[in-house]
């Protein structure tokens, strides 16, 4: 799997075609090229080393742990946020699934960011609604480019269920 992803990223780099994923000259139109493009960009800057292909996933993993910490701190308290971030950082699942070049850590980051932004927007006394609206849109847009509709469907379903449970779904207060 790593070799396939890295080869596609290298082909994007050498051909200059940053839209179409190609393997052995055959266009793979089912692949969404956002993480491959990012890998190709890092391959170019790091002279085609294995680090260049893995750098986006490593950065996404660190950012995911930080976002989880901040989300937990906002929702509960400092200790809960710290426990959430540390348990994610030391968990075997994240460790195993970021060793291969699949964008699941980045997808998890976009979904987590979108759900956090949605919950922040539901807060009645939230002062920075523009910032959280932008974050919601960016997370859903990046996730959509990265993996498809799953990055939009999961946060929307989670938000709708939360709003239904808390009786906010059909309340039209301004």
Compute mean pLDDT per 10 residues along the chain, 174 residues long, and list them: 66 72 71 52 53 74 94 96 94 75 83 96 92 96 85 94 89 63
The secondary structure of residue 103, as a DSSP letter, is T
Residue 44 falls within a domain, yes or no? Answer: no
Residue 48 falls within a domain, yes or no? Answer: no
pLDDT at residue 38, rounded to an integer: 52
Pairing of strands 22-23, 26-27: antiparallel
Enter the pTM of the model.
0.75
How many domains in the chain?
1
Residue 173 makes CB contacts below 8 A (sequence gap 6+) with none
pLDDT at residue 99, rounded to an integer: 67
Residue 129 falls within a domain, yes or no? Answer: yes
Residue 37 falls within a domain, yes or no? Answer: no
Residue 169 falls within a domain, yes or no? Answer: yes
Separation between Cα atoms, residue 106 and residue 53, nearest integer Å: 14
pLDDT at residue 101, rounded to an integer: 65
Domain that holds residue 148: 103-174
Residue 162 falls within a domain, yes or no? Answer: yes
Residue 128 falls within a domain, yes or no? Answer: yes
């Amino acid at each position: 799997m790593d070799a396939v992803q890295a080869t596609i990223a290298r082909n994007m780099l050498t051909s200059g075609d940053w839209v179409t994923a190609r393997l052995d000259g055959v266009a793979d139109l089912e692949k969404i090229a956002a993480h491959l493009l990012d890998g190709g960009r890092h391959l170019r800057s790091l002279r085609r080393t294995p680090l260049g292909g893995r750098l986006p996933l490593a950065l996404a993993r660190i950012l995911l742990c930080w976002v989880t910490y901040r989300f937990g701190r906002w929702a509960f308290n400092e200790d809960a946020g710290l426990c959430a971030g540390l348990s994610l950082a030391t968990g075997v699942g994240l460790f195993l699934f970021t060793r291969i070049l699949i964008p699941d850590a980045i997808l998890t980051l976009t979904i987590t960011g979108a759900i956090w932004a949605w919950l922040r927007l539901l807060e009645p006394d939230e002062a920075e609604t523009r910032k959280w609206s932008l974050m919601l849109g960016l997370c859903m847009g990046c996730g959509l480019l990265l993996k498809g509709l799953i990055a939009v469907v999961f946060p929307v379903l989670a938000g709708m269920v939360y709003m239904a449970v808390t009786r906010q779904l059909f309340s039209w207060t301004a």
